[in-house]
Amino acid sequence: MTPARFNFARDVVEAQDPARPALRFCDRSGAVRDLTFGEVADAAARWTGLLRAREVTPGDRVLVLVGKTPDWFSVMLAVLKTGAVAIPCSEMLRAKDLDFRVRHSGARLLVADASSREEIGAMAESPAVVYLADVPGADKLVMLRVSFGDHERTIVSGMKAERMNPREIEGRQALFVVNLKPRKMKGILSEGMVFDIGYADGVVPVLAVPEGAVPDGARAG
């Protein structure tokens, strides 16, 4: 029997042994990422704090325009935990389709992948938007999704402390260090490091960029 007060995030996910395996995610390159219930719950808790900071309250509608990644679970659980109503949206939707969903649902917030920025910018009725690249719970961190030609990597960088607008580097080629052991930063597995110039000397860092276009994934040497 379902209890009178039931919240899936609290009563199911958070009630599990934190060390128990919860998710196994395999990306397009075949890389596998395992998450425990504790890690899933922690990520959901950070998103819950962000939603509440945006004044999302029980009954509010939240559009979730997130691809097939572990972030989808974190955002959906956070919406459930706040008592709001999640409206999952396919990444295939265009601006007019998103307008329709906002108009008929009364959504007050849209959580989206940065890859959807162009369509969201073309919307006529866009609500407040939070992009996944703005890592919740981290004032200085930004999550990058970087193409290396035959695969992509997630790289977490502290560039918010260095740049007024970290999104100015979107679409640009840069130098990355990838022969490092992946490590978690604010619950997100970072698979490398962006290489910049100037930080060690106390000047505003700049990216190390090739003087001409090269194939994504080309190695320095």
The DSSP string of 81-117 is: HHT-EEEE--TT--HHHHHHHHHHHT--EEEE-GGGH
Q: Any idea where the domains of the chain sit in the sequence?
A: 8-131, 142-207
The pTM score is: 0.62
Report whether CATH 3.40.50.980 matches the domain 8-131. Answer: yes
Three-class secondary structure of residue 34 per DSSP: strand
Task: Please measure the distance between the N-terminal and C-terminal CA atoms of the chain and give it in whole angstroms.
Answer: 64
pLDDT tens digits along 30-66: 777 788 998 888 888 888 888 887 889 999 999 999 8
Kindly report each contact of residues 28-35 with a partner whose C-beta sits within 8 Å and lies 24 or more positions away, as own/partner. 28/151, 28/152, 29/150, 29/151, 29/152, 31/151, 31/191, 33/70, 33/189, 35/70
**What are 108-124's pLDDT values in tens digits?**
899 998 888 889 989 98
62 within 8 A of 51, measured Cβ to Cβ: yes
Rg (CA), the chain: 19
Residue 92 pLDDT > 70, yes or no? yes
- Let me know if domain 142-207 sits in CATH 1.10.260.30: no
The answer to whether domain 8-131 and domain 142-207 are alike in fold is: no
> What pLDDT is attached to residue 163?
66
Q: How far apart are the C-alpha atoms of 193 and 212, rounded to whole Å?
A: 21
Whole-Å CA distances, 172 to 49, 136, 153, 219: 32, 24, 15, 16
Between CA 92 and CA 174 the distance in angstroms is 29
169: confidence class by pLDDT, cuts 50, 70, 90:
confident
Cβ atoms within 10 A of the Cβ of 38, count? 17
